[in-house]
Amino acid sequence: MSVLEMVISTSFSPHSNTCLHSVSLHGICMACNSMIDEHYLYQRPFDFLSPGLQLSHDAVGLTKRLTTLSSALGEQKLHLVLDLDHTLLHSTKVSRLTEAEKYLLGEVACRDDLWDLKFNDYLVKLRPFLGDFLREANKMFTMHVYTMGTREYAEAIMEVIDPNRFYFGNRVITRDESPHTKTLDFVLADDRGAMIVDDTSDVWPEHQRNLIVISRYKYFRMKSSQDSKPYSEEKTDESEYNSGLVDVFRLLKEVHCRFFRVREDLGSKDVRLLLQERESTRV
């Protein structure tokens, strides 16, 4: 039985013939099959997981707790939320390429780290170590993408970095769900078992303790960098063996190992405390 099925089963009580309507699909309760008023309960839409899916506040909390417990006891996995732009890659409009960068258009066909997206004419440069990072992180984490980009943009990027959805499945959250700030409310995992990797900290106002800030990956020329030449014009790149992803992966692996060091304590372990402890030892 899946976690969501367990949550649905707790919603209906056959003894009292009552239902909490915790989970609905297109306005129909998945426990009792009755039509429910969308305003009857506070429900958060999870259309990115399944079109029309809504969970009540209590159902979200229960799903988070059960998901984290199930992942920890079973696969020994935590949850990892990854930003896209300037974290895993850098993208720019082809029309914004400088004269010194236009040589890249002729290299797209022969490079596996450079992609010409037909979606809105974007050129995408993958960050060094990205392939190894995703492959190794997948062994320790259930991974989610969370971007302030549009759904269309995110789906186009997924076709590049995870075309078979082996790493992320349908766990892709965009500004369509969260237009102004980012929140773990959309991540169906307990906050104590979820870590975030993002180059921008202020978009996570409520989850700073879960956040690992990664160095900002800037490959193409940006308006704010008029003085120094970018990697693209220098025809070089961030070192694959000393990149932001390498540094972050070391930290993720360390926290994962410490979380699962004593299995009997899994119910009380919290990645936020482990990250805080590590930070205090560096001061």
SS3 for 211-227 is EEECCCCCCCCCCCCCC
Average pLDDT rounded to a whole number, residues 160-171: 97
- For 78, residues 6+ apart whose C-beta sits below 8 A from its C-beta are 68, 71, 72, 140, 141, 142, 189, 193, 194, 195, 255, 256, 259, 271
- For 72, residues 6+ apart whose C-beta sits below 8 A from its C-beta are 78, 193, 259, 260, 266
Regarding predicted confidence, which is higher, 246 or 27?
A: 246
* Residue 153: exposure state from Cβ atoms within 10 A (0-12, 13-18, ≥19): buried
Average pLDDT rounded to a whole number, residues 246-250: 96
- For 121, residues 6+ apart whose C-beta sits below 8 A from its C-beta are 93, 94, 95
pLDDT of residue 57: 85
For the whole model, what pTM was predicted? 0.92
Q: Residue 193 CB: number of other CB atoms within 10 A?
A: 26
Share of the chain above pLDDT 70, in %: 93
In the chain, beta strands by DSSP E: 12-13, 18-19, 23-25, 28-29, 43-45, 53-56, 78-82, 89-93, 114-117, 122-126, 141-146, 172-173, 194-198, 211-213
pLDDT of residue 226: 64
pLDDT for residue 283 is more than 50: no
Confidence of residue 252 (pLDDT cuts 50, 70, 90): very high
pLDDT for residue 81 is more than 50: yes
